[in-house]
Amino acid sequence: MAAVRMLVLRSGLAGLRPWAASSARFMSSSPSFQFVEVERRGAEGSVAVVALNRPTALNALSEALMSELGQALDAAEREASVGALVLTGRGRAFAAGADIKEMRGRRFPDCYREDFLANWDRLARVRKPVVAAVNGLALGGGCELALMCDVVYASEEAQFGQPEILLGTLPGSGGTQRLVRAVGKSLAMEMVLSARRLSAHEALQAGLASRVCPQAELLDQAVALAERIARCSQVATTMAKEAVNAAFEVGLAEGCRLEKRLFHASFATRDRQEGMDAFAEKREPRFTHQ
Ligand code: CAA
């Protein structure tokens, strides 16, 4: 608990009333965040926008950047007033993948012993909904980060690719698995085996992204979606995310059983009562996330 308090204090979250500003930075000032910026957006500050900020290296995912990303995600996850997150990149890339210069000297024993990249799954384990706002190149680990998000919005300049094969290796953070589930086997194989990149419109057509918009509108549109999600009951959005994600892990009967249990469980929440009362009384619901 003390550690949580320290992180909140260091990140500036403690003194920030979430309703006070529609775009308030709450972690960027922290000296511990050099490569990641976080700001609160949305009418009630209910959206945490996490931006990868190492533009001179096209947001290459160094160990330091990924460690900061993990800390930023932990903080947003803990902050009760954050209902949804947006992940984006500064500059012309979303992220150009793992930092090749940093990892070029690695050998198998180090990778194996340290379980290299194991911490990258932190994003996939975030329980609050995450919208990717892919502003440019999403290559290698960058594409894999986008695939870990719940919804992908792309700018017209976005490109998605798994170019690891050109480096004599293969995707190492879920690309071979999540990409197949997103776009199907043939296109995933084409991308992984030949490094062919998808344009934003191809990604939309293939189901990797659900919206393409002009670069200038991307962040606002992603924030608008995240804000709309954050207005709902956090308990319900977390349950819904868990249920949808189960579709990738378990068979149909088991997935439907889990869904039914979560649906039943929602009847134990005040928010479910409030939502149905509000409908019957023809008014807006006031969710308390209880
Ligand atoms: N790692 C380290 N540095 C990178 C990088 C990366 N993945 N991608 C770009 N950079 C650096 C470049 O080295 C360059 O730095 P300097 O100015 O110091 O030379 C800077 O970012 C700008 O890049 P370029 O000059 O290369 O820009 P460009 O427009 O000519 O090319 C690019 C852009 C096609 C994306 C090219 O940079 C590139 O091919 N990058 C590597 C992409 C890649 O292979 N990604 C996969 C990495 S492996 C991986 O991610 C494994 C995994 O599954 C987790």
CATH number of the CATH domain containing 255 = 1.10.12
Same-domain status, 246 and 224 = no
Using 50, 70 and 90 to split pLDDT, how confident is the model at 44? confident
In a domain, 66, yes or no: yes
Indicate whether 49 belongs to any domain.
yes
Shared-domain flag, residues 145 and 243? no
Residues 264, 216 share a domain = no
Judgement on whether residues 140 and 214 belong to the same structural domain of the protein:
yes
Number of Cβ within a 10 Å radius of residue 43: 11
pLDDT, tens digit (0-9, with 9 covering 90-100), for 227-283:
999 999 999 999 999 999 999 999 999 999 999 999 999 999 999 999 999 999 999
Summarize the confidence of residues 154-169 as an average pLDDT.
Answer: 98
Q: Which domain holds residue 265?
A: 234-280
> 266: burial class by Cβ within 10 Å (0-12, 13-18, 19+)?
middle
In this structure, the answer to whether residues 25 and 110 fall within a common structural domain is yes
pTM assigned to the model: 0.91
Residues 13 and 83 in one domain: yes
Check: CB of residue 96 under 8 Å from CB of residue 60: yes
- In which order are the strands placed within the sheet that holds 93-95? 93-95, 137-139, 159-161, 198-199
In the residue annotation, 222 being an active-site residue is answered as no
d(CA 83, CA 97): 28
Query: pLDDT (tens digit, 9 = 90+) per residue, 180-229?
Result: 999 999 999 999 999 999 999 999 999 999 999 999 999 999 999 999 99
Statement to judge: residues 77 and 123 lie in one domain: yes
User: Hey, what are 53's tokens?
Assistant: 């900020």
75 is an active site residue? no
Structure tokens at 104: 């070029």
Ligand 1 pocket list (CB less than 6 A): 57-58, 60, 96-101, 117, 137, 139-141, 144, 163-164, 167, 171-173, 175
> To test the ligand 1 pocket, which listed residue (52, 58, 100) has its Cβ within 8 A of the most ligand atoms?
58
In a domain, 129, yes or no: yes
CB neighbour list of residue 251: distance below 8 Å, 6 or more residues apart: none
Catalytic residue of the set 96, 164, 182, 200: 164
Q: Which of 230, 245, 268 is the last residue of a domain?
A: 230
Domain co-membership, 120 together with 208:
yes
Q: How confident is the model at residue 43 (pLDDT cuts 50, 70, 90)?
A: confident
Domain count, the chain: 2
Looking at the structure, tell me whether residues 265 and 136 fall in a common domain: no
* C-alpha–C-alpha distance, residues 260 and 247, integer Å: 13
For the question of residue 141 being annotated catalytic, the response is yes
The rounded Å distance from CA 149 to ligand 1 centre is 22
Domain assignment present for 287: no
Q: What is residue 157's predicted lDDT score, i.e. its pLDDT?
A: 97
Same domain, yes or no: 139 and 276: no
Q: Which residue minimizes the CA distance to atom 29 of ligand 1?
A: 58
The H or E element containing residue 262 is: helix 252-266
Best residue among 35, 90, 100, 196 to mutate for probing ligand 1's pocket (most ligand atoms within 8 Å of CB) is 100
Query: Whose CA is closest to 227, among 24, 54, 47?
Result: 47
Q: What's the chain's average pLDDT? A: 91
Q: Are strands 36-41 and 47-52 parallel, antiparallel or unpaired?
A: antiparallel
Q: Say whether both 23 and 127 belong to one domain.
A: yes
Instruction: Examine the residue annotation and report whether 144 is marked as an active-site residue of this protein.
Output: yes
